[in-house]
Amino acid sequence: MIVALLNQKGGVGKTTLALHLAGEWAANGKRVTLIDADPQGSALDWSQQRAREALPRLFGVVGLARDTLHREAPELARDADHIVIDGPPRVAGLMRSALLAADLVLIPVQPSPFDGWASAEMLSLLGEARIYRPQLAARFVLNRCGARTVIARATAEALADHDPPVLGATIGQRVAFADAAQSGRLVSELDDDSPAARDIAALCAEVGRIAL
């Protein structure tokens, strides 16, 4: 399966969730390649940090921030069980290419009532991609849910029938994600039984149940 983490907004958790989804699949014995489609290369930085600290390689990270991504991804997919694409902010050409490559698009959003969840442009790019790829699945993922997750969950339920629907699994606002990012680790490597690690396991399990 090719999963793309996309949202034109920066700082919503694309890189965090891409790395953790890839890591969770790898921990479950899957062959995973992560495509860093963000010119800023934060996923590549993370994997280089790992290499510097001589941590074991969990999955390959390939920098591919080009509009031809959708033509190159199937080749990479041949040698992997799963491909995870860490999407770029803003750049519409790259976003389009990632949408054409993906089987499933996950759109991380922060459940704030003051914030549009995804930009109109993001949703129109998704609509455009579906002209060519009617089977393309998409889901919102609520990230950085705070103590008032009840509100987030109510919002999620209200929006479950909408398109794209919202995943039931949500990711809490947890410092472990920032600690993991800085140290080239995954939250499960910091503490396998932490709330953050359990959030990720639940997310990964739900993504695995999406029929594509």
Ligand X SMILES: Nc1ncnc2c1ncn2[C@@H]1O[C@H](COP(=O)(O)OP(=O)(O)O)[C@@H](O)[C@H]1O
Q: Which of 177, 187, 188, 197 binds ligand X (CB under 6 A)?
A: 177
**Is 181 one of the binding residues for ligand X (CB under 6 A)?**
yes
143 scored as a contact of ligand X (CB under 6 A): yes
Our measurement of the distance from residue 119's CA atom to the centroid of its chain's CA atoms, rounded to an integer in Å, reads 17
Minimum distance between the CB of residue 29 and ligand X, rounded to whole angstroms?
25
Q: Is 20 in the site for Mg ion (CB under 5 A)?
A: no
Q: Which of 14, 50, 82, 185 binds ligand X (CB under 6 A)?
A: 14
Tokens of 196: 């953050």
Residues with Cβ within 8 Å of residue 4, at least 6 apart in sequence: 37, 84, 85, 87, 98, 99, 101, 102, 104, 105, 106
Applying CB under 6 A, which of residues 81, 174, 198, 210 lies at the interface with ligand X?
Answer: 174
Closest contact distance (angstroms) between CB of 197 and ligand X is 12
Alpha carbon distance 113, 76 (integer Å): 39
Which residue from 178, 192, 205, 208 is in contact with ligand X, where contact means CB under 6 A? 178
The window from 62-70, 116-124, 167-175, 204-212 that contacts ligand X (CB under 6 A) reads: 167-175
Do residues 101 and 2 touch, judged by C-beta distance below 8 A?
yes
188 contacts ligand X (rule: CB under 6 A): no
Return residues touching ligand X (CB under 6 A).
Answer: 10-16, 42, 143-144, 171, 173-174, 177-178, 181
Return residues touching Mg ion (CB under 5 A).
Answer: 14-15, 42
